[in-house]
């Protein structure tokens, strides 16, 4: 099946004056394919014509704008633990029910720093390459509800820090698909903890011993391997 119907018959100009016109009817065929704008060309060839009449070599180009839209949207977890290892981002294709892609399409997913950092793949998050951009592909024939996913790696560290964020958004698109929706924010919840306590619960010294020295102890509980530490200085107050 094509995109236009048959253009039959011949046009006749009989006893007409300068700049006379003759209508050409071009039937468009409606289909269920998501295909973007398409073009076709028509040419004029002479059948029976008096001497001195020529046919223009310039063709007519018609453009058919597709009426079957397809959009790609992004979804995923909004909060993940630092220990999760990786979290999927899902790209979902939406078309009118029964409509499918005529040709393959691709959609890029871009990651952007918030308080979490990419740092050329050595930071808090990255795609498996590592990279901060990845492309997912939809094959020809994909239809409404088709999905493609990409895993974002979450790096486990030994830092006591606040929850951190990065954002994911759809980028460059190829094929007859448009990206829809704004960036999605992802929060990485820290799984290290720290506590400050007195090193000993009590001690006793004589009255003449002054000053009385008591230690405060910082204890860090870390999940990852390495030397645990704080990302920012910690200040505590001692009250009586």
Q: Give pLDDT tens digits for 46-68.
A: 877 777 788 888 989 988 888 88
Buried-exposed string 214-232: b where 16+ CB fall within 10 A, e elsewhere: eeeeeeeebeeeeebeeee
| 97 contact partners, CB below 8 Å, separation of at least 6 | 144
More confident residue, 15 or 18: 18
Cα-trace Rg, the chain: 34
Q: What is the percent of the chain where pLDDT is above 70?
A: 99
Rounded to two decimals, the pTM is 0.77
**pLDDT score, position 93:** 97
In whole numbers, what is the pLDDT of the chain averaged over residues?
Answer: 90
**pLDDT score, position 226:** 84
CA 223 to mean position of chain CA atoms: 31
In this model, does residue 1 exceed pLDDT 60?
A: no
**159-206: pLDDT as tens digits:** 999 999 999 999 999 999 999 988 999 999 999 989 999 999 999 999
Q: Where are the beta strands (DSSP E) in the chain?
A: 33-34, 38-42, 60-64, 70-76, 79-81, 86-95, 100-101, 105-113, 125-127, 133-138, 147-154, 159-160, 164-174, 178-179, 184-189, 193-198, 216-221, 229-230
The length of the chain is: 240
Pairing relation of β-strands 79-81 and 60-64? unpaired
In this model, does residue 20 exceed pLDDT 90?
A: no
Region 16-35: what's the mean pLDDT? 85
Pick from 97, 89, 39, 104: nearest CA to 69: 97
CA distances from 161 to 95, 193, 207, 231 (A): 43, 8, 42, 6
In this model, does residue 224 exceed pLDDT 90?
A: no
**pLDDT score, position 38:** 84
**pLDDT score, position 29:** 81
């Amino acid at each position: 099946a094509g995109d236009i119907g048959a253009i039959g018959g011949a046009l006749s100009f009989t006893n007409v004056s300068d700049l006379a016109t003759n209508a050409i009817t071009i039937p468009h065929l409606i289909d269920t394919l998501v295909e973007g704008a398409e073009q076709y060309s028509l040419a004029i060839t002479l059948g029976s014509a008096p001497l001195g009449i020529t046919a223009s070599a310039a063709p007519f180009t018609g453009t058919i704008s597709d009426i079957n839209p397809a959009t790609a949207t992004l979804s995923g977890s909004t909060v993940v633990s630092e220990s999760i290892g990786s979290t999927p981002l899902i790209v979902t294709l939406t078309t009118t029910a029964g409509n499918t892609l005529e040709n393959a399409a691709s959609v890029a997913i871009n990651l952007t720093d918030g308080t979490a950092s990419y740092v050329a793949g050595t930071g808090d998050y990255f795609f498996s390459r590592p990279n901060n951009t990845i492309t997912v592909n939809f094959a020809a024939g994909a239809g409404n509800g088709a999905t493609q996913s990409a895993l974002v790696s979450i790096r486990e560290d030994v830092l006591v820090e606040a929850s951190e964020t990065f954002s994911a958004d759809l980028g460059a698109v190829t094929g007859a698909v448009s990206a829809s929706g704004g960036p999605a924010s992802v929060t990485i919840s820290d799984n290290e903890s720290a506590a400050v306590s007195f090193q000993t619960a009590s001690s006793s010294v004589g009255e003449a011993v002054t000053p009385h020295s008591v230690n405060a102890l910082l204890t860090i509980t870390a999940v990852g391997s390495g030397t645990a530490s704080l990302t920012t200085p910690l200040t505590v107050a001692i009250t009586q």
